Amino acid sequence: MVDMVSLTSILPPVLAVSAVAYAVLAVRVARTTPENPNNLISIFLFLVAGMVSGSAFSYGATDVNLYGIGRTLSFFSSGFVLVVFYLIYREFTVGKAHPILVAMLCIIPISTTVLVLTNSMHNMIWQVFETPSGLEFSEMLDHSWNRQIYAPYTYGLFALSMLLLISRLPTIAPAHRGRILLLLIAAILPFSVSIANTFFRIGPPEFPFTTVSMTVMFPLFAYVSLKLRLHEFSPLAYQTLFDHVRDPIFVLDKEQRIICANKAAEQLLQDVEHELVGRKLWEDFPEARAIIEQAKDLDLTQTLRMDTNGVYEVSVGPLAGPKGQNLGMVVTCRDVTQRRQALEKLAESEHLVRTLIETSSNGILRFSRDENDAGRKFRCIFANRAAEGFAGEGAGTLVGMPLEKLTQLDPQRLLRHFTAVDQPVSQVSFEVHSDVGEGERWLRIVAEPVGDDFSVTLVDITQRKRTEDKMLADALSDPLTGVLNRRGFEKEAAACIRRSSVGAVLYLDLNQFKSINDRFGHQAGDALLKAFGHRIEFCLRPEDVLGRLGGDEFAIVLPGVGVDDVKHIARRLVQTASEAYIIQGQEITCTASVGIALMPKHGEELWHLLSVADEAMYGAKSISEEEAANDHAAYVDAATAN
């Protein structure tokens, strides 16, 4: 009894000091690197301080209000510290959690905090008993909310976060893996002690084993935070280094020490990764060190001769964090030895013609078999500026590229021609078309053999194609209304009918057009035809074909529609056409007649269907305009061929 009394008098001040220490540590972490936006570690330490201070208030308390303050701090801090620990796991491995997920994780901690603050109304979290020796408080697991909801949630979320973080350890860079292990050790010990006390009844249930263990672990938390600076950790998974990439890649920290390196980098430095980690890259190579020094805060690409045989293109760029903070740099080395050798050979033999080729408006490329490739693929060994504009993604992107990747050149057709064994190699010419940012582009490709290689000339024929298309469109369209003329309609409509198994052909004309033409003049008649054509277009679908056959006669092909839909469209056309027109400031009323032929019922040939529709239209003209206007449905039924 004496020991318990002395413990209740000694432990709260110790816990209070520990809480203050955690709070000071949290402030120190938050202020150490203000440019680093990752404050999760600082928040985690603040919440730990809240848990410890809660135990300082509640342990051995005989006052209901003091106990309530302690329990409120403990429940609030312990609930949210697990949410923050889960967010730390996400931050260090797979990336930030979605705000909706964070909000869902906060539901139970918020609900529990509300219940704690209102516990005096319902006693769902703890109860107070008066005993001869003074006030006593019920255990946490004596209440269903704590036992069935809060405890499973907190322990389950913490266990899940730890297991997921442990499973992700192999994907974390070796230089950072030790920090994460220390964080796990510092977190697992209090977690294990809490489980042992809460669920296995090891030790007195009222003793704050969890917060005492956190007090004991304070030096480790301080070491991880201040010495190892865990809050500056930048997650870097090995899969992002793409070990299968042939280019050596090094990731350096702010002190220019190697954090990690891919397989190609190991081969370049002739050492394994775990031996390279922590060393400074090219410490004894002044030229390379100069490049790295110049590239601390900017992207830089320079060519560097590593030895007498190898030339590398070294690209150095800053390694930025999620909010733009500088975390180090990435060094990429690309072996350009073969490309340089190829360019030098070309320079020796083609220096005089290069100027003409480079200034040519036609794209010129040369392809040669790659002798170092098992399949002896054709690769581009030369490309002028115009070719880069036609087929490349920027200056210098074509040289070294396999022919198969240049899809704009129809590579399969070129390969079939220049690898055929049953016919002599000769010149080949064809046209290709592609979509570019400003629209369509047409190229004429002329390829001819050059020894064992072949050259390709790219001629931009886009303007010629556009001119031809415009001439064809003008030849097939009606200059007045803008719709297809008779020739264009015959071409498009016949093709449309061949593609469709069902549909209809409509024949239309204006009933009073001649009298309107005579009364108001030809200009008014032309304007009426133009307006009538626009109204018809407004009622049709994109796949429908509309044409002006001559005079005031129009025809429509409606593919893929049934009888009811055809009649609905015809009624809409007749109704729309009968609405008044404003021509040259005058209101003109002009109705339209329609005839309908159905396919395949009335035929499958265009001009036969037009003939049937024309005959049906003239049969429907026997109905007076007044009757047709009053009952469009009856009129359309009469206009449908039998």
Q: Which pLDDT does position 120 carry in this prediction?
A: 80
Sequence-separated (6 or more) residues with CB below 8 Å from residue 588: 516, 520, 524, 528, 580, 581, 582
Question: Tokens 């432990």 sit at which residue?
Answer: 11
Sequence-separated (6 or more) residues with CB below 8 Å from residue 194: 155, 209, 210, 213
Per-residue pLDDT reduced to its tens digit, 433-453: 877 666 678 888 899 988 888
Report the run of H or E that residue 355 belongs to, with start and end: helix 337-358
3-state helix, strand, coil in the chain (%, to 5): 55, 20, 25
Q: Which pLDDT does position 160 carry in this prediction?
A: 87
Per-residue pLDDT reduced to its tens digit, 316-347: 777 776 566 677 788 888 877 787 777 777 76
Beta bridge partners of residue 250, listed in sequence order: 261, 331
Q: Which pLDDT does position 237 carry in this prediction?
A: 46
Q: Which residues of the chain register pLDDT less than 50?
A: 1-2, 4, 37, 236-238, 241
Domain 477-639 top-level CATH class: alpha beta
Beta bridge partners of residue 328, listed in sequence order: 319
Give me the half-sphere count of Cα atoms (radius 13 Å) on the Cβ side of residue 323. Answer: 9
Q: Which pLDDT does position 234 carry in this prediction?
A: 56
* Domains 2-232 and 238-335 equal at CATH topology level: no
Task: Provide the residue ranges of all domains of the chain, joining segments of one domain with +.
Answer: 2-232, 238-335, 341-464, 477-639
Domain 238-335 top-level CATH class: alpha beta
Q: Which pLDDT does position 7 carry in this prediction?
A: 67
- In this structure, CATH architecture of domain 341-464: 2-Layer Sandwich (3.30)
Q: Which pLDDT does position 504 carry in this prediction?
A: 92
Q: Which pLDDT does position 375 carry in this prediction?
A: 78
Please determine, looking at this structure, whether the domain spanning 2-232 carries the CATH number 3.30.450: no
How far apart CA 588 and CA 582 sit, in angstroms, is 6
DSSP state of 140: G
Residues in the chain: 642
Angle at 567 between CA 561 and CA 573, to 5 degrees: 105
Q: Can you give the pTM of this predicted structure?
A: 0.42
